[in-house]
Amino acid sequence: MPNASLRTAVLGVSGYTGAELVRLLLEHPRLSTPPLLLGRPEQADSLTLALTSMHPQLSGLPHADELRIIPFDWNLLQREQIDILFLATPHEHAREIAPLALQHGIKVIDLSAAWRLQHDTNRAIYKLTDADPTLAKSLQAEAVYGSPELHGRQIKSARLVANPGCYATSIILALAPLLRSSLIDLSWGIVADAKSGVSGAGKAPTASNQFMYAADNLSAYAVFGHRHTGEILEQLHLETSQLQFTPHLLPIPRGILSTIYVRLNSMGSIKQIQAAFDDFYEDSPLVRVRRSHMLPQIQHVVRTNFCDIGFQLSPDGKKLVIVSCLDNLLKGASSQAVQNMNLMAGFSESEGLL
């Protein structure tokens, strides 16, 4: 049954992630009222624009053809009794808006990186500033990293949820069960070789996401300095020396495939590794663990809300390769945000996502 009492709003709907988030909310079976769609003041040319003029692919969905993107206004949010505000904005805007939303009694799911990182050294890459550093420090400590598979219990009661990054999600979910079971020999280090479609760079045109650069090409970037590295280190409790993460740009629209190389503490077995994954994700409806030797592919997950994980163990039982795949716009962003909303609202975690 729809829940007429839960009201949502989305600030920042112009990008790929914002469009997918709105689609999921419009189709959500427990929401009877469509989300309030808000534009940032600097996007004056798009304000009061019809949603389907910006995203024609949404036409025909419930309420989509009647919705307009309207100027952001705190009084409006309070009149509409908004319970949860999704922020699909640049990091610096989310850092500014989230504290104000909480002061207005509105919970926040932030799809940017503004609140993901607890350590100043990791957060420094975003060059964030705070009008009230004391308040920001307090809220940073309160913010819950929005990985339902890792922090579902905390998300249920959270006021501020920091939605994870796409690369980080694919790597964290691949490694968490093995680290929890103390199966990895960290003295050998972990190598994470990850590849993402062009939509991971966002909708704004850049030299690297132009057709002439990306088509028929494969390129590494941000070696030793990708901004999702801090998330992986913090969530998996790793030292910088224990992880080498290298992202690559694939000439496809969407999807991430991460290939991760580890060495085990002792000779392992397929049964042991399979059990570690199966046990960890027993109650995780949006993670699909493949049987050994069946490795996931991007085409298996694109336009779905799943993260697929598979592995192969070397013949000597000492080296392990894990492959993790997800859609960077969905499980890597928007559908994970809806997963978090479901938990915060007391719905089934997978409501509207299966």
**What's the whole-number mean pLDDT along residues 8-21?**
96
Mean pLDDT over residues 228-242, rounded?
97
pLDDT over 50 (residue 64): yes
Is the pLDDT reported for residue 81 higher than 60?
Answer: yes
**What pLDDT is stored for residue 43 in this prediction?**
53
Mean pLDDT of 240-247: 97
Closest CA to 168 of 82, 236, 251, 253: 236
Q: Give CA separation, 281 vs 163, 257, 311, in Å.
A: 19, 19, 15
Helix, strand, coil share (%) of the chain residues, nearest 5? 40, 20, 40
Candidate from 102-111, 206-215, 235-244 with smallest mean pLDDT: 206-215
pLDDT value for 1: 43
**Residues catalogued as catalytic:** 166
Segment 131-138 mean pLDDT = 95
Q: With a cut of 90, say whether residue 46 has pLDDT above it.
A: no
| String of DSSP letters for 134-179 | HHHHHHHHH-EE--HHHHHHHHHT-SEEEPPPHHHHHHHHHHHHHH
Listed in sequence order, the residues at least 6 apart from 134 whose beta carbon sits closer than 8 Å to its beta carbon are none
Average pLDDT over residues 271-296: 96
Q: Which residues contact 299 (CB under 8 A, 6 or more apart)?
A: 255
User: Please, what is the average pLDDT of the chain?
Assistant: 94
Residue spans per domain, the chain: 8-164+332-345, 166-327
Q: Which CATH superfamily is domain 166-327 in?
A: Dihydrodipicolinate Reductase; domain 2 (3.30.360.10)
- pLDDT for 44 equals 52
**pLDDT value at residue 280:** 98
- Residues 187-206 have a mean pLDDT of 88
Mean pLDDT score, 234-262: 97
Specify whether domain 8-164+332-345 bears CATH 3.90.79.10. no
When pLDDT is averaged across residues 195-217 and rounded to a whole number, the result is 82
Render pLDDT for 315-335 as a digit per residue (tens, 0 to 9): 999 999 999 999 999 999 999
